[in-house]
Structure 1
Amino acid sequence: MQYRYDKHADPVSVLAYGCMRFAKKNGKIDIDKAEAEVMEAVKGGINYFDTAYIYSGSEDALGVIFERNHCREQIYIADKLPHYLIKSKAGLEKTFQEQLKRLRTTYIDYYLMHMLTDLKTWEKLKGLGIEEWIQEKLEKGQIRNIGFSYHGSTEKFCELVDAYPWDFCMIQYNYLDEHSQAGRRGLMYASEKGLPVMIMEPLRGGKLVNLLPEKAKEKIALHPSGRSAAEWALRWLFDQPQVTTVLSGMNSIEMIKENLKVASDARPGSFSQADQAFIEDIKREINSSMKVGCTGCGYCMPCPKGVDIPMAFSSYNLIYSESRTAARKGYMQCTIMRHTPTSASLCVECGKCEIHCPQGIEIRKELKCAARELETVKYRVFRRIIQLLKLW
């Protein structure tokens, strides 16, 4: 196992364990299976385990596993505050104590604001006294590192990086999201600010393996390296020194062993020009099934009405390259689950975006198409609920 380092020079395994997708049995996490897999990962050198308050049963499962095996001091636990459910400072403390109880621990190594969306949301949390609360927890050692996870545009991500002296951050990043979400520009920005960057969705929830176009699958199968689709995606990430660790939701011993092997020898700079060219070829095969030729460059931004144009097109394309369910879920996360909505339907057809688009995309027309596909009845109902509850 290779290790990279956090702000305090503590070693973090380049491969991390994402604990959202533990296998279930009779509606509950199969604790014996999860334990065998987690301990295989620990044996292989993985020391970073990521969970969240809203991952049903995950915190408790990790607590049981690490307590049984007496290895709490060998590993790091990353957990997340569901700030969108918090209404007061007392609520902060109650939730945190519940997490400690579930995890059977007295401290959390890496604590994140879960899906922090924008500066307005952070300002709202500051109004609840979160900065003082964080400082208290850091001083007591109950939180060792404070950070945030993020879905959304590069610009808003960079603003959040500058909003507080964070210890680390987490972004969705993979070769298909190189120029969407926080993207490479966000990765570089955070790294230049001295922030370790943890990567989620390196395989797009498995989509860069199971839902690749047939031509892409054929090219990978015929490549002389013998690398699997997952290995290509992981090596692309491990090649970048700005990446601190890569979360993988591994749910079989075979998958763990395969990923451990890749993590043991995929060093920064080892990805050749030919390898990069091959990834670009695979991206072209994926993009050929997309509806809008948006590269995520962001020249169309900012929209006067707040529409996140690159994100809308990215989600719209996902409907055709992956699945409607994944596309609509991601779109919901990045538009209505934030303080200021960024939905495609907010477009008033002013046309300012089209003047700057280097791809010559008919943005106004395509945004209408995207809104029709993405903003379903369920989406509109959920948007209304959020507005009424003022969760964000």
Structure 2
Amino acid sequence: MLYRTNPKNGDKLSILGFGAMRLPTKEDGSIDEEKATKMVRYAIDNGVNLVDTAWPYHMGECEPFLARALSEGYREKVKLSTKLPTWAVNTREDMDKFLNAQLEKLNTKQIDYYLLHTLTKASWAKIKDLGVIDFLNSAKEDGRIKNAGFSYHGMQEDFAPIVDDYNWDFCLIQYNYLDEKVQAGTKGLKYAASKGLGVFVMEPLRGGNLAGKTPEEVMEIWNKADKKRTTVEWALRWVWNHPEVTSVLSGMTEPEQLEENIKIAEEGYPNSLTQKELGLIEQAALKYGELLKINCTGCGYCMPCPANVDIPTCFGIYNNLHMFHDETQRFQYFATLSDIFWTNEPHFASQCTNCGICIEKCPQYIQIPEMLEKVVAEFEGPDNDEKMAMVKSVFKM
């Protein structure tokens, strides 16, 4: 494992951090604790020393799970990161309430890296008015947190003012080769680093879109490379190629993903890609831009939907159809969103009531109701009943 130094405090952090947003789950949606614990400990045993979670991950069960997974001496081997749910904070007292609850849930006396979750210009203004600077200073002084930072989901022009508004120790930004101009982007990455902050990166694989089945048009580009790499390696190496990046948080669901990422991290040196390789990545980014119809990472911040629409799945299936020209997605749409295996409560795009709540929550600023209309036009129609009958016949229901 390679390590980089957080310039603000001298911590040597593994370039691969364990993001606990997408842990393996059982059929009922609960964390597969045995499998997930083995993964967390395998990561630490192989040099990962940064573990990241948050209040809402896995419906609030991620923090208590990590307390158990990091027992037996593992807590002492890592820097632990979690986040204040800024959207749920309405008073200065709420901030202490959430932090104290997280310390208890994580069974720890101190959070090494504590973030304000999902900052935008508006959310920063709100919690700043509520006294968050006093909260952070007090929590650092009394030892409940060691380092204060924020995760960013706002517009690029609003990033630098937030960086300048407090003596932050680090920040967390979305960054991958498709998002150089999205949110903080490359400009924000360089600015935060120039101010001496450690910069952690989330969504290096863009919600898994850069790790799964690769469109033929993109594979033609990768095949031009002198040294062959997997799509995951191209994506991770591109992020690590930036010397301003301190650590990359990757959400890993399967042990094989973890093992692959650890192996790739062995060569994640800054400025290690050739100009030809960087040129190929730029070509791939342009091609993906042509193929990706909806700029969704599947983060789930838009959920739950009051109308019971499964927004990330709707967008994921729509994007897969267009990126991979995969006509089986038309069947997948009804097989998945009908939920015939569990509740029989549908989650189709056509259930959208255009309430607009999801737009306020979306870190990508997607006009979700408008995009859901495109999903409806693509997949749904007067033959919905026939398609449902086909799904049921295939699964003999």
Which TM-score band (shorter chain)?
0.7 to 0.9
| TM superposition shift of 1:224 | 4.3
Aligned length: 322
Match of 1:61 in 2: 65
Runs (5+) with no aligned partner, structure 1: 293-314, 345-369, 378-392
Query: Per-residue displacement from partner, 1:105-157 (whole Å, max 9, x unpaired)?
Result: 11101111100111x43232123222112111101221011011011221011
| TM superposition shift of 1:211 | 5.1
Match of 1:41 in 2: 43
Q: Say yes or no: does 1:187 pair with 2:189.
A: yes
Report the Cα distance in structure 1 between the residues aligned to 2:357 and 2:153, rounded to whole angstroms: 7
Match of 1:102 in 2: 105
Q: 1:121 aligns with which of 116, 120, 123?
A: 123
Q: For 2:170, give the aligned amino acid.
A: F
CA contact (8 A) 1:239 1:270 kept: yes
Query: Per-residue displacement from partner, 1:43-82 (whole Å, max 9, x unpaired)?
Result: 1100111100010211111100112x21212101110100
Q: CA RMSD in A?
A: 3.1
Q: Normalised by the size of structure 2, how large is the TM-score?
A: 0.74
| TM superposition shift of 1:334 | 9.6
Equivalence map 1:21-32=2 (5 Å): 21-25=22-26, 26-32=28-34
In structure 2, do the counterparts of structure 1 residues 73 and 318 end up closer, same or farther at CA, with 3 Å as the change threshold? same
Report the Cα distance in structure 1 between the residues aligned to 2:167 and 2:323, rounded to whole angstroms: 38
Aligned-pair identity in percent equals 40
Report the Cα distance in structure 1 between the residues aligned to 2:154 and 2:281, rounded to whole angstroms: 24
| TM superposition shift of 1:335 | 5.1
Equivalence map 1:213-362=2 (5 Å): 213-220=215-222, 223-289=225-291, 321=323, 336-337=360-361
Report the Cα distance in structure 2 between the residues aligned to 1:137 and 1:181, rounded to whole angstroms: 28
Query: Per-residue displacement from partner, 1:239-286 (whole Å, max 9, x unpaired)?
Result: 110001001111222222211121112211111001101112212321
Q: For 1:336, give the aligned amino acid.
A: E
Q: Secondary structure at the match of 1:114?
A: strand
Runs (5+) with no aligned partner, structure 2: 295-315, 338-348, 350-355, 376-397
| TM superposition shift of 1:371 | 7.3
Match of 1:16 in 2: 17
Query: Per-residue displacement from partner, 1:185-226 (whole Å, max 9, x unpaired)?
Result: 010111111111100000001101225422213443674423
Q: For 1:48, give the aligned amino acid.
A: L
| TM superposition shift of 1:18 | 0.6
In structure 2, do the counterparts of structure 1 residues 291 and 54 end up closer, same or farther at CA, with 3 Å as the change threshold? closer
Q: Secondary structure at the match of 1:265?
A: coil
Q: 2:84 aligns with which of 64, 78, 81?
A: 81
Q: For 2:5, give the aligned amino acid.
A: Y
Query: Per-residue displacement from partner, 1:284-339 (whole Å, max 9, x unpaired)?
Result: 321232579xxxxxxxxxxxxxxxxxxxxxx9x979559999xx9xxx8995239x
CA contact (8 A) 1:47 1:76 kept: yes
Match of 1:296 in 2: none
Q: Say yes or no: does 1:146 pair with 2:148.
A: yes
Match of 2:305 in 1: none
In structure 2, do the counterparts of structure 1 residues 224 and 242 end up closer, same or farther at CA, with 3 Å as the change threshold? same
Report the Cα distance in structure 2 between the residues aligned to 1:334 and 1:195, rounded to whole angstroms: 31
Q: For 2:63, give the aligned amino acid.
A: E
Report the Cα distance in structure 1 between the residues aligned to 2:254 and 2:292, rounded to whole angstroms: 32
In structure 2, do the counterparts of structure 1 residues 375 and 154 end up closer, same or farther at CA, with 3 Å as the change threshold? farther
Q: Normalised by the size of structure 1, how large is the TM-score?
A: 0.75
Q: For 2:159, give the aligned amino acid.
A: F
